[in-house]
């Protein structure tokens, strides 16, 4: 089956079985290794990608569901100014970007900030319930997301002038 979709802003196609997992397609066919094979049951967050504007576990997404969709991986997102805002906020509050949960934390922050310009602490902590993170305290993560939101607001505000 040929599956066409948008990957990191580019139109791509892949010939694959319809039930093959997106994580395997990203890693094997496109050599994008930012999404990791963790639990393979959708609960750890290691394989996080943005699928049609929402964070999804790539290990749980069958290829047929990707047809006509937009997928953004950490590799694609890392080329944006929005990524830099998040990294700056994370650095200010000592949020570790480990190889296991780092991409999920960044992509979840992006989708959260895309929905709400300045989320509240409880909204942030609730959003991060789906990521198994052992390297960052929840309080630091919430502070980092708020900092990233403010950095983004300043950058976008300066651009409007």
pLDDT tens over the chain, length 161 residues: 999 999 999 999 999 999 999 999 999 999 999 999 887 887 778 899 999 999 999 999 999 999 999 999 999 999 999 999 999 999 999 887 777 778 888 999 999 999 999 999 999 988 887 776 666 666 888 999 999 999 999 998 865 54
Which domains, ranges and CATH numbers included, belong to the chain?
Answer: 2-76 (3.10.20.30), 81-160 (1.10.150.120)
DSSP-derived letter for residue 118 is S
CB neighbour class for 103 (10 Å; exposed up to 12, middle 13-18, buried from 19)? buried
Distance CA 110, CA 50 (A): 9
pLDDT at 26: 98
φ, ψ dihedrals at 13, nearest 5°? -135, 155
């Amino acid at each position: 089956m040929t599956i066409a979709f948008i990957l990191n802003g580019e139109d791509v196609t892949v010939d694959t079985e319809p039930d093959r997992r997106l994580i395997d397609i990203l890693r094997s066919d496109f050599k994008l290794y930012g999404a990791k094979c963790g639990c393979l049951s959708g609960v750890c967050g290691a394989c996080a990608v943005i699928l049609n504007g929402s964070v999804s576990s790539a290990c749980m997404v069958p290829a047929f569901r990707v047809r006509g969709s937009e997928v953004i991986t950490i590799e694609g997102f890392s080329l944006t100014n929005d990524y830099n805002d998040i990294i700056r906020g994370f650095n200010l509050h000592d949020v570790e970007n480990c190889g296991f949960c780092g991409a999920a934390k960044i992509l979840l922050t992006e989708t959260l900030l895309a929905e709400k310009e300045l989320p509240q602490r409880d909204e942030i902590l609730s959003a991060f319930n789906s990521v198994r993170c052992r390297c960052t305290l929840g309080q630091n993560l919430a502070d980092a997301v708020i900092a990233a939101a403010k950095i983004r607001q300043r950058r976008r505000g300066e651009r409007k002038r």
